[in-house]
Amino acid sequence: MSGVGITFDETHSFRDWGLRLKKIAIGIPKAKTEYVSVPGMNGDLDLSEAQNGGVKYEMRTLKFTFGARNCSYERWSGLLSQIASDLQGISKRIILDTDKGYYYTGRCEIETEKNNDVTAEIVISCKCEPYKISVDSSDEPWKWDTFSFINGVIHNTSDITISSGFGWQKVSLDGWVHNETLRIVSNAEMKVRYRNSTYTIYTGENIMYDIVLYKGVNDLYFQGTGKVTLIHRGGML
């Protein structure tokens, strides 16, 4: 995988450290389950999805194995110190060159092994949050270089004109498997209705903690006159 690498915040494993990526292991997070044994009942009572809106997951592990060539013992010591100073025990935003549309967030640990004066192996393990998150939020223009034609979603939620002084104007928003808190930026006070609840939108940025988006199409209904921008970011396993 010459030239292909991993970006940790702003640092690229090949361009900045000269590491050649040899192996990628992406762990799938385990579901958090809860079962209760009930007398007189066959099996157990599954309470895994009883609260907090569906399945929750544990942390996941990403593991990257790199090789360093033309790496004498002296160069290895300096390279190891550089990488450790940048990564060891530090939480990073991690983007794979093979999946540029998403990022993971995790804390990094380094292992290394060297048994000759020419090559060395460096392993970076990252304990990450369960979901990989879209690099672009819904209010940003989508980019050809990061867009995935397999699972990418085009969003366009910037400067939406609302012209409904008495009725309700529908705005649809595509939800992810995992959805971060919706923010609505408005240039005028208005109202928004979602499912069976109505909320007041004030001029400026509104953080909509009470609006829980779901995977698929989410219909929001606005009443008022002005422009709104929906800022929404989500992800998947």
The percentage of residues in the chain with a pLDDT greater than 90, rounded to a whole number, is: 61
Q: What integer pLDDT is reported at residue 19 of this predicted model?
A: 92
Q: What integer pLDDT is reported at residue 198 of this predicted model?
A: 96
pLDDT band at 139 (very low <50, low <70, confident <90, very high): low
Tell me which residue of 189, 142, 194 sits closest to 171, measured CA to CA. 194
Q: What integer pLDDT is reported at residue 140 of this predicted model?
A: 57
Radius of gyration of the chain measured on its C-alpha atoms: 23
Across residues 76-96, what is the average pLDDT?
Answer: 92
pLDDT band at 142 (very low <50, low <70, confident <90, very high): very low
- Is the Cα dihedral 41, 47, 51, 54 positive or negative? negative
* Helices then strands, each counted (H, E), the chain: 1, 18
Per residue in 151-199, pLDDT (tens digit) is 444 456 888 999 988 899 999 988 998 999 999 999 999 999 999 999 9
Task: Kindly report the three-state secondary structure assignment for every residue of 154-190.
Answer: CCCCCCEEEEEEEEEEEEEEEECCEECCEEEEECCCE
Per residue in 213-232, pLDDT (tens digit) is 988 999 999 999 999 999 99
Distances (CA, A) of 123 to 15, 46, 138, 217, 236: 17, 39, 35, 41, 25
Give yes or no for residue 53 having a pLDDT over 70: no
Per residue in 17-33, pLDDT (tens digit) is 999 999 999 999 999 88
Q: To the nearest 10°, the Cα dihedral for 11, 108, 18, 145?
A: -50
Give yes or no for residue 78 having a pLDDT over 80: yes
pLDDT band at 6 (very low <50, low <70, confident <90, very high): very high
Q: What integer pLDDT is reported at residue 150 of this predicted model?
A: 45
Under 8 Å between Cβ of 181 and 227: no
